[in-house]
Amino acid sequence: MTEWIRFNYKQDTSLFGILVGDYVDEYEGNLFETPKPTGRRISI
């Protein structure tokens, strides 16, 4: 099951992505329509 999360990164509080182990794959757009990956992977 995909685990979507909202997170803060460098003072940006409007980010969301998929939790994958010890990192987050960031997405953009509308979470409930067709979110698109940004290509950025952030370590937690």
Can you give the residue ranges of every domain in the chain? Answer: 4-43
**What are the b/e assignments for 35-44, b being 16+ CB within 10 Å?**
beeeeeeeee
Cα–Cα distance for residue pair 28/33, rounded to 1 Å: 11
How do the pLDDT tens digits run along the chain, 44 residues long?
A: 889 999 988 887 789 999 999 999 999 999 999 999 999 999 98
Cα–Cα distance for residue pair 13/2, rounded to 1 Å: 21
DSSP 8-state symbol, 35:
-
Q: How many CB atoms lie within 10 A of CB 17?
A: 24
pTM attached to this predicted model: 0.82
DSSP 8-state symbol, 44:
-
